[in-house]
Chain A
Amino acid sequence: MRILVDRVRCQNHGQCAISAPTNFELDADGELRYRESFDDEDASDIEDAVDSCPVQAITLDSDG
């Protein structure tokens, strides 16, 4: 599974960085940075991040 963020949708709300700081963070300008791959042990945090995004910008892609 791979994390995908729709950059047109994303408004840098940073809710994902609260749920799953291992994969998501805001840089000093407030822009989202994220890592696509994640470990199994972080899967529930990642799901939490998907749910937390108020504009549904995050999806999980099964190839990868």
Chain B
Amino acid sequence: MADGGRTIGVVGSGIAGLRAAKALLTCGVDAEVVIFGDEAHRTYNRPGLTKRPYPPPGAPGTAMAEDLEVAGLDDDALTWRLGTGVDTADLRDKVLHLSTGETFDYDGLVIASGVRARTSTGGSGGSHPRRTLRGLDDAQHIHDELRASGKVTIAGAGFVACELASLAGKYGCEVVMLESPRRGPFRGLLGKRISIALRRWFARHGVTFLPGDPEPSPDRSLFVEAIGSVPNTEWLRGNGLDLSDGVRVDARMRVPGHEDVFAAGDVARYPDPWAAGRLTRIELWKNAIDTGDLAGRSLAASLGRGAGKPRLGYFPNTTSEVFGLRIQVAGNPKASDAAEVVRGDPDHPDRGVLVRFLRGGVAVGVAYLDEGARFNSTYIELLRSLKADPAGAVAAG
């Protein structure tokens, strides 16, 4: 126990929670930092769950759990309470109620509970087990099945669904993707034309598309639903917070009305630095790192330690690889009302296509698809011009 006798609770043992805890320690706060996680594992690299088969080719003997460990976890100043969920929180009396029946009094709180996979039935339901893919345990099971079963049916059309299809292909599985009307791969993000080309790319790599609702196939083979996510905020109910889409915070990740409560990562909805007056909630690894750092520093500053970074200097961007095709997206294409092709041919993304997304004539996002990297430097230039011109993004918002 620290001499000050203060305690800080971090709810969520993902990367946002870990980075918040690390930032607190780096700032030299005089407190015991306790991380609660309902998963049994210490922080691991969640994006890695769908990036390659295990053991990977060229590295026999590599097991997933060890391979995905995040480095630098054994800091004596951190207390881990794994396999322990926080059931409810009373923010007025500053106490957490744990799944073990215990209570935990805190002086400062970081909410980093992330999101979970959405399900069509709101749970188990149906005669056939549906799987979702969010945690390490889910992923272990799915990898084992892919290695053994030879067939997978996937509902969904976003990043996780598409990466899973590609992963299953690497395991040599037969892949079926269920399509609801107007929902081809990445259609919601990249638009119809690119989605149709991607569908062709997937089909060329052996994926079968079937129309249909997320209903498991009758043959009882592996069925995975990857149809989006739901913020984990139920445990915060009853405190009068705005939980309409995650946890609302200010630009320093502080929960309004609560001096000592901060939120970060996938669960946090914060003022969009690139669109004045708008809030954003971003489910990306780097966002969880940066907002986690910021929440930790802001909490430290509220305890008189270190200085809170004024704002996030980061621009959302991510990369995915499906059947050998790199898909890079930056900014917020979803906010656009028009798109223009800068380079290449959207009907042949494997040969490289670079698209700029506009809103009211101003660029708000860029996407780049390619099997190689022909236009990569142009993509980075476009991304930088997006980044250098937040005023444009604000005007567009």
Which residues from chain A sit less than 8 Å from chain B, CB to CB? 8, 11-15, 17-18, 21, 25-31, 51-52, 54-56, 59
The number of chain B residues with a CB under 8 A from chain A is: 30
Total A-B pairs, Cβ < 8 A: 67
Determine if A51 and B289 form an interchain contact, defined as CB atoms under 8 angstroms apart.
yes
Contacts of B129 in A (CB 8 A): none
Determine if A26 and B286 form an interchain contact, defined as CB atoms under 8 angstroms apart.
no
Determine if B380 and A21 form an interchain contact, defined as CB atoms under 8 angstroms apart.
yes
Q: A8-B56, A11-B51, A55-B48 are in contact. Are A28 and B321 (CB under 8 A)?
A: no
Could you tell me the distance between the alpha carbons of A56 and B289 in the complex, rounded to whole angstroms? 13
Contacts of A30 in B (CB 8 A): 326, 370-373, 376
Which of A28, A51, A55 is the one whose CB lies under 8 Å from B51?
Answer: A55
Determine if A54 and B51 form an interchain contact, defined as CB atoms under 8 angstroms apart.
yes
Interface string of B56-71 (1 = CB under 8 A from A): 1011000000000011
Determine if B372 and A29 form an interchain contact, defined as CB atoms under 8 angstroms apart.
yes
Contacts of A56 in B (CB 8 A): 45, 48, 70-71
Closest residue of chain A to B381, judged by CB? A21
Determine if B380 and A12 form an interchain contact, defined as CB atoms under 8 angstroms apart.
no
**Cβ of B209 < 8 Å from any Cβ of A?**
no
Contacts of A11 in B (CB 8 A): 51-52, 321
**Cβ of B180 < 8 Å from any Cβ of A?**
no
A-B contact pairs, 13 of them (CB 8 A): A8-B56, A12-B326, A13-B319, A15-B286, A18-B330, A18-B380, A25-B376, A26-B373, A29-B372, A30-B371, A52-B286, A56-B45, A56-B70
Could you tell me the distance between the alpha carbons of A55 and B48 in the complex, rounded to whole angstroms? 6
Contacts of B317 in A (CB 8 A): 15, 18
Determine if B56 and A14 form an interchain contact, defined as CB atoms under 8 angstroms apart.
no
Q: Is the interface of A mostly helix, strand, loop or mixed?
A: loop
Closest residue of chain B to A32, judged by CB? B373
Could you tell me the distance between the alpha carbons of A62 and B247 in the complex, rounded to whole angstroms? 39
Q: Looking at A8, A17, A18, A51, which has the most chain B CB atoms within 10 Å of its CB?
A: A18
**Cβ of B221 < 8 Å from any Cβ of A?**
no
Contacts of A28 in B (CB 8 A): 372-374
Which of A8, A17, A26, A55 is the one whose CB lies under 8 Å from B47?
Answer: A55
Closest residue of chain B to A31, judged by CB? B373
Question: B211: shortest Cβ distance to chain A, in Å?
Answer: 32
Could you tell me the distance between the alpha carbons of A25 and B70 in the complex, rounded to whole angstroms? 25
Could you tell me the distance between the alpha carbons of A18 and B319 in the complex, rounded to whole angstroms? 11
Which of B318, B373, B374, B383 is the one whose CB lies under 8 Å from A54?
Answer: B318
Question: A28: shortest Cβ distance to chain B, in Å?
Answer: 6
Which 4 pairs between the two chains have the least Cβ-Cβ distance?
A26-B373, A30-B373, A13-B319, A54-B47
Determine if A18 and B383 form an interchain contact, defined as CB atoms under 8 angstroms apart.
yes
Determine if B319 and A14 form an interchain contact, defined as CB atoms under 8 angstroms apart.
yes
Contacts of B321 in A (CB 8 A): 11-13
Which of B59, B285, B289, B373 is the one whose CB lies under 8 Å from A14?
Answer: B373
Could you tell me the distance between the alpha carbons of A27 and B370 in the complex, rounded to whole angstroms? 12
Question: A35: shortest Cβ distance to chain B, in Å?
Answer: 16
